[in-house]
Structure 1
């Protein structure tokens, strides 16, 4: 909304900043602050200094994106909007709570999020373009590390490397048949109009979406389990229920809510067949037998993994667990599954644990596991021999930040900037915002040609 348009509606928007010919309104700052609070984002400093400066920098990047003809695909933006809306509904409890928090209907919330996410993606694309040539050589990393003051060398907490072998207890056919019978009953009740799908999902579904009546929100095909997507995208009647679908998480029935191109919103009810104590005991016994044979040196842990382990992520990798956060084999203790962390805590390097029961992190199902502690790295100050990848990442991050900072501050110098009274008394991150001869009541023409 421009000031003229606002005036025509008898509403005069308070402008906090001008960047070239682009205003930053107080309402825009408030909306951003509200969104950051809903996302539980950290704000270091006074939000009424930090947020307008971030918005100003964002405008510089967006203008550059226009010059460079950089665009973000609409479907990518809308997928991220859907994920954010789903997150808000899950955390605030309902669509109504989201609307109350933002004080506007959900379509308006989606529109606000769409603009914010698109702008954020454009900023990332420009920054990526500016820093694409940053590639650290070993000499770069060594010089960077040697330049760090001793008290700035990061402390690396205790880390471990762990190999794992797992067995999925056999679930009796009777248990699977009972689960399917329950799902067929729910589907029949909905199809006959005797029950409401969302009510049944609240009462019986074993998925986290049950609190929302089984609703998943708009999701792209690629982000759904393949078996689920194949059935869901073939649904056309919003009053009917799908056939039973099996995925790695269990058994589902699905109801279509709405399709939007390559995205779909569905409800589902998930039931997981239960593993009996008898089945768990049998799996524990089998894995303990394998352990005894390893200890008797009939074969090694690594040799047994491909033939015994049913963990898809590790059975072709000698059982080596990989930290998805940094794509290395090292874990801080808090990054491991809780059951693994408890077992590993008292183990020695090379030791093999006894079998234990744990929850499969992906499927939320009881499985039996056995682990080998292959390495323990005590907490220490980072060094080149043990922590090269960490130091390399720090160097590249520092180099990229330096390039972006210099670019931003040159843009600030070349761009008309005016900060209104009441918004100027800040310790800004970037230099050059407060310019000589440009006051809040300056009548100078704005130079909207940003290089």
Structure 2
């Protein structure tokens, strides 16, 4: 599978570079929006990526790409008029996230640079103007949308306006709680991990290259391929222990080893810029010992027995003892990650496989037994689940699905507001599209009526 991904990336970059080479020989303006232009080479690069992902040639997709580019240009132009700006750190963060993902897919920074035929620094600077424009366009759209809400009466009218045959059909939905416990190691149990970080820090002090040590030994998958580089960040981007150290150091200084929820780190500040700091770090994760796991199992079994025997309320137990910060403040209840309503009702086909297995045979009001699990960050602990509600498959109703219908009503209202804005701006903005694209159905609304 990994080999296929690498081949796909290779083909994408080869095709993309071919398109770039061609565009240097012949390029043309395919559309103009106000004072901004869209070049054929811009579309060629995106279309090359589309083909390299295994898609078949499709002229309609070229139309779609131009329509997206027109939308971005119009939003970005209005952002400039309205003095909407994006900071260098925002652009840096976006670029760094993209490059981290690309590096992971390519199998490392060096392999990605080979595919790109340039350094990541060069590629980053080439991408910077377009990414800045994208971020401005996003901010402009957010400003247009504003804080849109709907009243219960508007939700009712929206629902009643839907054709009965088009009402959505919902799969089985459940409300689930969880109580999670991760092993807490003693100072003695942590010592081996602290010592490993201390040894690596000493290597840097003795003259080893920080970036090389980070690539070889740091256990932070997000920054290790980049030599531990975290880019420019504000205090809010870090956990408090990291911020406390990073914002005390001067440029070039190396910190002592310190502990956070992720393990033992040491860091070096590379540059300071106002309220931002550019730093790099090396992380040694803390792995639970067998003894710590046994202590944790005994503790969660004890809490489970109290809850099942109704000697302790589940919501109280989760709020006070669960180690999952995402759910403990909801009384242990898991919230849906779909949409913006953050409902406690979750479709069973969206559940984590292990949680689905744990609650599949439960009746509402019952609990699964504590089981060992590993979360998405790689931490191992114990968990038991509570099934509060199970709603069978059904067609949408206002009583059962008010939150989802409200969200759809908000989206409908938002779409109408955006459509009105774009219609007004298209009428008042000079827009010219190359005749080759005049037959595109997606672009009909962008052509001025004569």
Which TM class, normalised by the smaller chain length? 0.7 to 0.9
Displacement of 1:349 after TM fit?
1.0
Query: Alpha carbons of 1:100 and 1:283: their partners in 2 closer, same or farther (altered >3 Å)?
Result: closer
Query: Alpha carbons of 1:236 and 1:132: their partners in 2 closer, same or farther (altered >3 Å)?
Result: closer
Q: Deviations over 1:239-270 (max 9, x none)?
A: x7431121111111224455555444444332
Q: Which residue of 2 aligns with 1:284?
A: 297
Partner residue of 1:53 out of 67, 74, 88: 67
Displacement of 1:45 after TM fit?
7.2
Do 1:168 and 1:368's aligned partners in 2 also have CA atoms closer than 8 Å?
A: yes
Q: Structure 2: 5+ residue runs without aligned partners?
A: 1-23
Query: Alpha carbons of 1:259 and 1:83: their partners in 2 closer, same or farther (altered >3 Å)?
Result: farther
Alignment pair present for 1:230 and 2:244:
yes
Q: Which residue of 1 aligns with 2:331?
A: 318
Displacement of 1:74 after TM fit?
4.1
Do 2:233 and 2:278's aligned partners in 1 also have CA atoms closer than 8 Å?
A: no
CA–CA distance in structure 1, aligned partners of residues 216 and 344 of structure 2: 41
Alignment pair present for 1:246 and 2:246:
no
CA–CA distance in structure 2, aligned partners of residues 22 and 167 of structure 1: 55
Aligned length: 423
Q: Deviations over 1:12-60 (max 9, x none)?
A: 631112334533211222345568899999x997332112222222222
Partner residue of 1:23 out of 28, 33, 37: 37
Out of 271-280 and 365-374, give the one that drifted further.
271-280
Q: Which residue of 2 aligns with 1:433?
A: 447
Alignment pair present for 1:145 and 2:187:
no
Q: TM-score, normalised by structure 2?
A: 0.81
Displacement of 1:100 after TM fit?
5.2
Q: Which residue of 2 aligns with 1:346?
A: 361
Displacement of 1:192 after TM fit?
0.9
Q: Structure 1: 5+ residue runs without aligned partners?
A: 1-9, 437-451
CA–CA distance in structure 1, aligned partners of residues 328 and 358 of structure 2: 20
Q: Which residue of 2 aligns with 1:86?
A: 100
CA–CA distance in structure 1, aligned partners of residues 349 and 149 of structure 2: 31
Residue aligned with 1:46, SS: helix
Do 1:160 and 1:373's aligned partners in 2 also have CA atoms closer than 8 Å?
A: yes
Please give the root-mean-square deviation of Cα atoms over the aligned residues, in Å.
3.4
Q: Which residue of 2 aligns with 1:190?
A: 204
Query: Alpha carbons of 1:97 and 1:170: their partners in 2 closer, same or farther (altered >3 Å)?
Result: closer
Q: Deviations over 1:248-295 (max 9, x none)?
A: 111112244555554444443322333233332332233223333333
Q: Which residue of 2 aligns with 1:135?
A: 149
Query: Alpha carbons of 1:297 and 1:108: their partners in 2 closer, same or farther (altered >3 Å)?
Result: closer
Of Structure 1 and Structure 2, the greater helix share is in 2
Alignment pair present for 1:304 and 2:322:
no
Correspondence 1:151-166 to 2 at 5 A? 151-166=165-180
Query: Alpha carbons of 1:18 and 1:294: their partners in 2 closer, same or farther (altered >3 Å)?
Result: closer
Larger radius of gyration: 1
Query: Alpha carbons of 1:44 and 1:366: their partners in 2 closer, same or farther (altered >3 Å)?
Result: farther
Out of 255-264 and 123-132, give the one that drifted further.
255-264
Do 1:159 and 1:377's aligned partners in 2 also have CA atoms closer than 8 Å?
A: yes
Query: Alpha carbons of 1:190 and 1:385: their partners in 2 closer, same or farther (altered >3 Å)?
Result: same
Q: Deviations over 1:280-317 (max 9, x none)?
A: 23322332233333333333323433444344444444
Q: Which residue of 2 aligns with 1:398?
A: 412
Partner residue of 1:126 out of 132, 135, 140: 140
Q: Deviations over 1:205-226 (max 9, x none)?
A: 3321475165244141321222
Q: Which residue of 2 aligns with 1:367?
A: 381
Q: TM-score, normalised by structure 1?
A: 0.80
Do 1:175 and 1:273's aligned partners in 2 also have CA atoms closer than 8 Å?
A: no
Partner residue of 2:345 out of 330, 350, 360: 330
Q: Which residue of 2 aligns with 1:387?
A: 401
CA–CA distance in structure 1, aligned partners of residues 364 and 52 of structure 2: 44
Q: Which residue of 1 aligns with 2:228?
A: 215
Correspondence 1:193-204 to 2 at 5 A? 193=207, 195-204=208-217
